Amino acid sequence: MKMSHAWRPVILIVGAVVFLLIFRTIYVPGDFTAKSGDYKYQWHSLKNEKYWTDYPVKYMGQEFCGQCHSDKVEKIKASGHQKVQCEDCHVMTSKPDKKHPVDLKEDFKYLLEIGVDSSRELCKRCHAKLPFRPAEYSESSKGTIKFNMIDPKTHNAGIECVTCHDVHTAGFK
């Protein structure tokens, strides 16, 4: 029986759909799927979630440094600087000026460059008197305390704060 002329284009179009589906199966990796939610949001490579959960942790805080420097960490925990993490002052964003005596990268898988930033600029980040900077500090375990601010222009300008202040006790030397 002779096929109606209308069937041929229909077959061609159905063929194109089938080809597309097959091509997609080959081209798109197997882990590329919609995991949850609706399709327009969730179409992605599931492997990549592991890439992000496996990303290395670098900023470790007092707990890590306390393994060797327990004296310093105890001191700071008892002071007004109790919630300041070691890295806030001891991690270098440029070349470290003082190397850590133990190779932290090799031995402890600690990944940041250690040095000491004792610049006036660093202390000013919290202690320079700016209008409307909160005057009270409420995160201390001793309750709300006054937040110490100075005017950097008049308060011993030009001298590093650590000349007189011990940052680990948050008091005078």
Partner 1 sequence: MVTRRDFIKAGLLTVAGMAIPISALEMFKPEAMASLVRSFSEKKRWAFVVDTTKCVGCGMCAKACKLENEIPFEAEVQRTWVERYIQLKDGDVIIDSPKGAREGFTSNDPYGHEVKDEEITKQFYVPKLCNQCEKPSCVQVCPAGATYKTEDGVSLVDRSWCIGCGYCITNCPYFARFFNPVTNTADKCTFCYHRITKGKQTACIDACAFGVRKIGYINDPNSEVFKIISSKRVAVLKPEYGNEPHVFYLGLDQIVR
Q: State the residues that interact with partner 1 by CB under 8 A.
A: 5, 9-10, 12-13, 16-17, 20-21, 24, 28, 32-45, 48-49, 51-59, 61, 81, 83-85, 87-88, 91, 93-94, 112, 121, 124-126, 128, 130-134, 137-139, 147, 152
Q: Which is nearer to partner 1, 34 or 164 (CB)?
A: 34
C-beta of 37: minimal distance to partner 1 in Å?
Answer: 7
* Shortest distance, position 51 Cβ to partner 1, whole Å: 7
Q: How far is the CB of 92 from partner 1 (least distance, A)?
A: 9
Which one, 81 or 168, has the nearer CB to partner 1? 81
DSSP string, 45-113: ETHHHHHHHTSPP----HHHHTTT-HHHHHHHHTSTTTT--HHHHHB-SS--SS--SS-HHHHH---SP
Tokens of 145: 């305390």
CA 140 to centroid of chain Cα atoms: 23
- From the CB of 61, what's the least distance to partner 1, in Å? 5
Q: Which long-range contacts (CB under 8 A, 24 or more apart) does 112-117 make?
A: 112/58, 112/59, 112/87, 114/90, 115/90, 115/91, 116/89, 116/90, 117/89, 117/90, 117/92
- Nearer to partner 1 (CB atom), residue 1 or residue 12: 12
Give whichever of 69 and 129 is closer to partner 1, judged by the CB atom: 129
Q: 78 or 128, CB closer to partner 1?
A: 128
**Whole-number minimum distance, CB 1 to partner 1, in Å?**
21
Give me 144's structure tokens. 């709300």
